[in-house]
Amino acid sequence: MNIKKHVKRGLWSHLMKSGIEMGLASIIYEVGVASKYVNHAMRTGDLGLAGTSNLYGEDQLALDVVADEIIKDRLDHTGRVSRIISEEQSEIIIFERKNRKGGYSVCYDPLDGSSLVDVNLSVGTIVAIYAGDDPLQNGRKQVGAMYVLYGPRTTLVYGAGNGVHEFTLNNLGEYVLTQEYIQIREQGNIFSPGGIRRDYLPEHEKIVTKFEADGYKLRYSGGFVPDINQILLKGGGLFMYPATTTAKQGKLRLPFELNPMAYLVELAGGAATDGQKPILDLDCNDLDQRSPVYIGSRKEVALAAQFFN
Ligand code: AHM
Ligand code: MG
């Protein structure tokens, strides 16, 4: 038996074959390692809520806090990260060590959609990577982005300049290549409209009405990672989280959620806009910066943007 034939391609070997710079490759790989512990915590942890006590009278930590700590430690461990920002932290965190200079900055949402864990729906980790010491850069400057989807299967999707690739966690704890160079078609047939219809602005109301009239199928889970993953892997469709009468900048955050997903979707041939400008061209000045978003196939994104121009 040829054993080599039966060994599928793992994440590290893929990163090395792609010729990605070592520091960047180790960040992507270490987030993958961290995600196994997040996955384990989520699937085996006490079903307690933050602020309550466990069996031993100790305070429970919310899963998103646990996930934040795990990922932070693994990023520190790479020795290649100088600054991080996390959706769970209110400030930029500096990893103090001389050799960190000239490394990378990482923005991440450790467990997006964490409230969905309680009702057993899919959630994810989202990560954006920049060269240098500034984590609040324009999204176009990303050198890599990735997400991990904790669903019926745990999958990792990364892109670093050359294609978007999917890996699946196997029973041996390895991320094994499932698909390379994932492509989004110019047009799809599903749409995911976030927000509450009562609070829609007139332009957005017209967009949703148009997609309904055109026969698009509704596919909205309430989790950004599974919703984007569906569009990416089905090869088309549109996700939107609009500005509303109650949230003028929408809900989703630019540094942790929108920039990394826009990077991956563009790399796969899709597009992402706030209605006026590509998401990746928006200036990012604040950890809590939000933006409306229309993201997915090029045709649907362009059609949505027409209603604002
Ligand atoms: P979170 O970062 O607080 O988890 O919120 C982000 C989530 C996304 O996963 C999802 O697209 C959106 O919030 C759904 O929000 P809502 O249920 O308020 O419409
Ligand atoms: Mg989030």
User: Per the domain annotation, does 1 fall within a domain?
Assistant: no
Query: Of the ligands numbered here, which is closest to the C-alpha atom of 126?
Result: 2
Task: Confirm or reject: Cβ of 122 under 6 Å from ligand 1.
Answer: no
Do 297 and 273 lie in a common domain? yes
pTM: predicted TM-score of the whole model, two decimal places? 0.94
Residue among 303, 155, 166, 162 nearest 235 (CA): 166
Quote the domain boundaries for residue 94.
7-179
For the chain, the average pLDDT equals 92
Buried b (16+ CB within 10 A) or exposed e, 25-55: bbbbbbbbbbbbbbbebbeeeeebeeeeeee
| Residue 109 CA, ligand 2 centroid: distance in Å | 6
Give the model confidence (pLDDT) of 189-218 as tens digits.
999 999 999 999 999 999 999 999 999 999
Which pLDDT score is estimated for 45? 72
Q: Write down the pLDDT at residue 253.
A: 97
Neighbours of 22 (CB within 10 A): 11
Q: SS3 for 133?
A: coil
- Give the chain's end-to-end CA distance (angstroms, integer): 62
Q: Which atom of ligand 1 lies at the shortest distance from residue 124's CA?
A: 9
C-alpha of residue 130 to centroid of ligand 1, in Å:
24
Protein residue closest via CA to atom 13 of ligand 1: 113
Per DSSP, the three-state class of 175 is strand
Same domain, 249 and 171: no
Q: Is 200 in the pocket of ligand 1 (CB under 6 A)?
A: no
Is 114 near ligand 1, meaning CB less than 6 Å away? yes
Cα dist. 63→33, 68, 76, 150, 153 in Å? 17, 8, 20, 13, 19
Q: How many CB atoms lie within 10 A of CB 177?
A: 15
pLDDT at 6 over 90: no
pLDDT tens, position by position, 20-35: 999 999 999 999 999 9
237 lies in a domain?
A: yes
Comparing 252 with 97, the larger pLDDT belongs to 252
Task: Give, using CA atoms, the residue closest to atom 15 of ligand 1.
Answer: 222
Are 33 and 71 members of one domain?
Answer: yes
243 and 115 belong to one structural domain: no
Supply the residue whose CA is at minimum distance from atom 6 of ligand 1: 113
The verdict on 164 and 218 lying in the same domain is no
Task: Please tell me the predicted confidence (pLDDT) of residue 74.
Answer: 97
* Contact indicator for 159, 263 with CB cutoff of 8 Å: yes
